[in-house]
Amino acid sequence: MQEQALSGVKVLDLTWHIAGPYCTKLLADYGADVIKVERPGKGDPTRAMGPFFKDDPNPEKSGLFLHLNTNKKGTTLNLKSATGKKILKQLAAESDILVESFRPHVMPGLGLDYQSLEKVNPRLVMVSISNFGQTGPYRDFKSSEIVEYAMGGEMYSTGIAGREPLKLGGNVIQYQAGTVAAVATMGALYSAEDEGTGQHVDVSIMETQIGSADRRIMYILSYIMAGVITTRWPPPREAIRMLIMPQGVYPCKDGFVNTLSLPQWWPRYIEALGMPELKDDPRFQNIYSAEAGMEFDAIWYSWLADHTKEELFEIFLKSKIASAPINSTEDLLKYTQLKAREYFAEVEHPETGKVTYPGAPFKMSETPWKISRPAPLLGQHNEEIYCKLLGYTAEELIKLREGGII
C-alpha cells in the first residue's frame, strides 16, 4: 500500500457539525487514522441534516455527514459517564492529535480540558474549534453559519446597495474554518513531532474569517489605514464604471457569466468579440470613460445573448479574458476539465451503494489523497477500537453497551 502524507498520525476526533469534521476529513483523506467519537444514540447532529440519499431521513444516509466523515472510524461514547471519561483518556493517551468543537465550557466541565489530558499524554496536540474562541465575552455565545458570516466575514458588503446584506450560499464559512483549523493542527503536529511536546490550539471561527483573504482582512485594514468603509454596491448595470470593459455578472443565451477586467485587457475583448473595427472606433479610445462603458455594454449584451455559457467560456479561455460561467452543481459534475483530471470520487457505502463525492482538494505526486473507507455507521468500529486497541473484553463491551456508555 502506498504511503500517504499523514500515514501513522493518530487523531481522536470529538468534533461535530461541519467545521471540525471538515478539519479531520482533510487529515483522514491524506492518511491519518481518525477515530470519530459520537454521542450514543443520535451521533453527530449532521446525521439528522439533509440532503438525504433518496430523501430518506435515515441517520446513515445524510449526504452532509457522508461527505464530511470519509476515512474515519466511528465509535460511540458517553462522555458524561465516569467510564466514558476514563475511556476517552485511554484513547487520548494513544493519540497524536485530539480535535474537539464543543462550546468552551464543555471539555473543562467534563474534566477533559487540556491540562488534564496533557498529564495523560504530554505529546498530545489538542485543537479546540469554537465559535468565538476559548476566552472573551462572547465565548459561550451560540452561533451558526449566518452569524459567523455576519460577525467574522464580509456579509456587510455582500449583496447590493439598497438591499439587505446577503449570506454566502451553503455552509462555506464553516468549511473555511475547518480548513484553517487543519493548518493550525498540522503546525502544532510538526512542532510536537520535532520537539516531543504537544500544546493546546485555540481556533475561533470568527477569527478564521476576520483573518481570511475573502476580502475581510483587507477591507478591515483599508478601514484602519485609510478610513474606508466598504459597503454593498449597485449591480454592474448601474454602478459607476472605472473601465469601458465589463465588471460583474452578465446574462448570456442560457445563463450568466462573471467577468473581471484589467485596464490592459481591452485588446483581448476586441479579439474575443471578433470586432477588429473597435480598435479604431473613436468612441473607445479612452478606456476609463464611463460613458463609453455604456456604449460598449450595448455591444457586449447583444454579443453575449448570441452565445451559450459554454461557448463563451471557450472564447474567453482563448482570448485570456477573466470570465467564467455561473455553474450549477449539474454543470460542475459535467465540466470537462474536472472529468479530464478525474476529480470526482466514487464511494461505496453499505446504505447508499456507490455515490459520487467531491474529490481531492490537491494532488500530491508521492503521497496520494484517497478514500479507503466511507463514513462510519454509528458505532461501527466500537469493537475494533475498544477491544483490539484498548483491550476491553467482549463481556466488558456488552456491559458498556448496556450501561449506555457506548
Question: Cβ closer to other proteins: 310 or 396?
Answer: 310
Alpha carbon dihedral 40, 42, 45, 48, in 10-degree steps, equals 160
Question: Cβ closer to other proteins: 121 or 176?
Answer: 176
Q: Which of residues 320-349 bind other proteins (CB under 8 A)?
A: 320, 322-333, 335-338, 340-341, 343
384 binds other proteins (CB under 8 A): no
| Contact characters 211-250, other proteins, x per CB under 8 A | xxxxxxxxxxxxxxxx-xxxxxxxxxx-xxxx----xxxx
Q: Which of residues 56-75 bind other proteins (CB under 8 A)?
A: 63-64, 66-68
- Contact with other proteins (CB under 8 A) among 133, 273, 377, 383: 133
Set of cell numbers at residue 140: 459561550
Set of cell numbers at residue 231: 459597503
Closest CA to 12 of 28, 315, 3: 28
Give CB contacts under 8 A, 24+ apart, made by 58-63: 58/351, 59/378, 60/350, 60/351, 60/377, 60/378, 61/351, 61/352
Contact window for other proteins (CB under 8 A) among 48-56, 101-109, 277-285, 388-396: 48-56
Contact window for other proteins (CB under 8 A) among 87-95, 273-281, 363-371, 375-383: 363-371
- Contact with other proteins (CB under 8 A) among 275, 361, 372, 399: 361
6 binds other proteins (CB under 8 A): yes
Report in angstroms how near the CB of residue 304 gets to other proteins at its nearest: 11
Question: Cβ closer to other proteins: 101 or 208?
Answer: 208
Q: Which of residues 147-206 bind other proteins (CB under 8 A)?
A: 147, 149-151, 154-160, 163-172, 175-176, 179-184, 186-191, 193-195, 197-204, 206
Strands (E), 205-343: 248-252, 255-260, 322-325
Report in angstroms how near the CB of residue 386 gets to other proteins at its nearest: 29
* # of chain residues touching other proteins (CB under 8 A): 161
- Contact with other proteins (CB under 8 A) among 39, 141, 270, 303: 141
Query: DSSP for 209-244?
Result: HHTSTTTHHHHHHHHHHH-PPP--B--TTTSPPSSS
Set of cell numbers at residue 165: 446584506
130 binds other proteins (CB under 8 A): no
DSSP-derived secondary structure letter, 384: I
Report in angstroms how near the CB of residue 274 gets to other proteins at its nearest: 20
Q: In what order do the strands lie in the sheet containing 248-252?
A: 248-252, 255-260, 322-325
Report in angstroms how near the CB of residue 402 gets to other proteins at its nearest: 30
Q: Report how far residue 49's alpha carbon sits from residue 342's, in angstroms, rounded to the nearest whole number.
A: 29
- Contact with other proteins (CB under 8 A) among 41, 50, 109, 403: 50
Exposure string over 24-45, b if 16+ CB within 10 A, otherwise e: bbbbbbbbbbbbbbbebeebbe
363 binds other proteins (CB under 8 A): yes
394 binds other proteins (CB under 8 A): no
DSSP-derived secondary structure letter, 6: T
User: What residues have CB less than 8 Å from 340, skipping those under 6 apart?
Assistant: none
